[in-house]
Amino acid sequence: MPSKDGQKSSGSLTTADLYQILRAQLRGRNQKLKQRGFHELLAEEVAVSKIGEFYYGEKLFARPEDPKLRALADRYDMIPEQAFRMTGGPVETMKNPCRCADLTCLQIQGAHLSGSALEGSDVTFNGNPFEWSDIDVMLQLGPVEIDKDMKRNPTRSPDTIYVTKTSVPQKGFFLLHHVPLPSCSRHDPIPFSGHRLKKRLINTMKMNGFKDFRHTTNVRSLQNFTFEGPSVASTDQITSADMVICISFPHWPSQEFCSRKRHHKHPGGELVRLLRKTPALLVPVGSADSSTKLHEWRLSFSRHEYLVYRALPRVLKDCLIVLKYANAVVNGPKAAIKGFLLKTSVLWLAELHSEDELNRKNFHECLLMVLDFVYSSVEKRRMACYFWTEINLLGRCKLDDLKKDVDRLKKHLEDAVRNIVAVFTRYDDSGVRDPRLPSRNYDDLRKFMFGNDATARRGEQDSETWMTEENMRKLFSSRAPLSTLHDKVLRTLSSPDKLKRCQEARKANRAERW
């Protein structure tokens, strides 16, 4: 482990230098991959190279036939402002137990990216980009009106589904029931079942693959559907997206969150008021031990998390993404430490420590502070949900595995950072240049990672972490054709003269192609 004062760790690079370079690399990659110009230019380059076909906006571009290339094309094609813009798509109906439970009017009213893909905190390496961070797509269904005390209403609209909400013993979970029609003689309420809706969504996708939606690039190519928690996981060989049905829940229990004393004024009063007005979401997943788990819905604060994440101090944003990458290479893609636990820890620490206090610490101390928060929560067997403290986020976690993963990540944190810096140096797509970094040659990078004590350190990493020789070679592997185009696009964007020549050449050929 590195020392807190930043002892030398790789040639002339100290631990502090490594952290500084990695933070710059992550920012550089994230900024470039989010640029609209990057997506547009990449789409043009893929079209020129004639690799299959895919949609970008209203244009049909080349989509790779190879599934790995298609996965990369889909990945870079997704822009939050345009991805999955769907309206008016009716959810397929099946035989209903009663007219009260008719879902004919139910529609996919809209969709948005959620989680790490939206925040820019997702883990992306070469090879399979979805092995690490899935794309989360929230599909909001409606019109659905929720009211705890709603009775039979003879004047209700036939184009709206009316349901009542009742709590279950597990905090954060609810049962929804259809409000009966005035003419209905049934006495047992009919569940507005999340499991039933997920089955309907799968039937809809199997029937038409969302052909009517021009912006659903990632969903159109997906074919294999399975239930995973609240989501319908859809995969086509290596392409992966988690589609989560949700309904709006305007009256979330916000009193404790809004009245909480915040000595360091984070989040600020204006943001707190915005969060209070922002509806939460209900997603279809039940409590593990509940007899009604197939019909239950869980409260989701994904919208609120994104708003607070954007307001976090820069150092805590960097802590989150560095720890997610380090956790990935130390503990592997199936680590017990999940991104939502790291994110919740960071949100709490932003309240407990002022930005000035955080900036006075060295970065390694900040990383350990986040991991210590996770570890202490595990020892208490409780991590409170940031937006509703009565919810315990550790209720369904394997605590012993969590402890082991935290200890392992602390022990190998510097090794992980050095390896990730080497991987990004190999990719050469962050815009970071430092004369102390090695060349992109694999042997030079390997020496950079392990120094003169390569054999001993290699053996320790092979036996204790995911960072085996085989796995690291995968991350260093040669790039696919579309990935080469990705490099070309980034270099073009960074060179004004080259960009101008490229734009002129595309303009000359556009009339012929379109």
Q: What is the pLDDT of residues 212-226, one digit of tens each?
A: 333 333 333 444 555
Q: Which has the higher per-residue pLDDT, 341 or 177?
A: 341
The top-scoring range by mean pLDDT among 101-110, 143-152, 345-354 is 345-354
Residues in Cβ contact with 339 at an 8 Å cutoff, skipping those fewer than 6 apart: 115, 116, 121, 133, 324
Quick check: is 341 in a domain? no
Rounded-to-integer distance, Cα 352 and Cα 346, Å:
10
pLDDT tens digit sequence for 112-130: 778 887 787 888 776 444 4
Rounded-to-integer distance, Cα 492 and Cα 474, Å:
27
Quick check: is 203 in a domain? yes
Percent of the chain with pLDDT over 90: 30
Angle at 302 between CA 189 and CA 231, to 5 degrees: 60
103, pLDDT greater than 70:
yes
The full DSSP string for 369-419 is HHHHHHHHHHHHT--B-SS-TTSBTTTTS-HHHHHHHHHHHHHTHHHHHHH
Note whether 275 and 310 are within 8 A (CB). Answer: no
Quick check: is 224 in a domain? yes
Quick check: is 17 in a domain? no
Rounded-to-integer distance, Cα 63 and Cα 69, Å:
8
**In the predicted model, what is the mean pLDDT of the chain?**
75
Note whether 141 and 247 are within 8 A (CB). Answer: yes
Its domain, for residue 184, covers 99-211+220-311
Residues in Cβ contact with 252 at an 8 Å cutoff, skipping those fewer than 6 apart: 279, 280, 299, 301, 387, 388
Percent of the chain with pLDDT over 70: 65
Quick check: is 264 in a domain? yes
294, pLDDT greater than 90:
no
pLDDT tens digit sequence for 338-369: 999 999 999 999 999 999 999 999 999 999 99
Rounded-to-integer distance, Cα 506 and Cα 401, Å:
53
Residue 16 one-letter amino acid: A
Assigned token pair, 97: 């137990």
- Give per-residue burial for 115-136: e unless 16+ CB within 10 Å, then b: bbbbbbbbbbbbbbbbbbbbbb
pLDDT for 341: 96
Beta bridge partners of 243: 137, 232
Quick check: is 415 in a domain? no
Beta bridge partners of 232: 227, 243
Rounded-to-integer distance, Cα 90 and Cα 442, Å:
53
Quick check: is 369 in a domain? no
pLDDT tens digit sequence for 245-282: 899 998 888 889 999 988 898 999 999 999 999 999 99
Q: Which has the higher per-residue pLDDT, 128 or 20?
A: 20
User: 428: phi > 0 → left, psi -120 to 50 → alpha, else beta; which?
Assistant: left
Quick check: is 120 in a domain? yes
**Counted domains in the chain:** 1
Task: CATH number of the domain at 112, please.
Answer: 3.30.460
The reported pTM is 0.79
Assigned token pair, 205: 């996708």
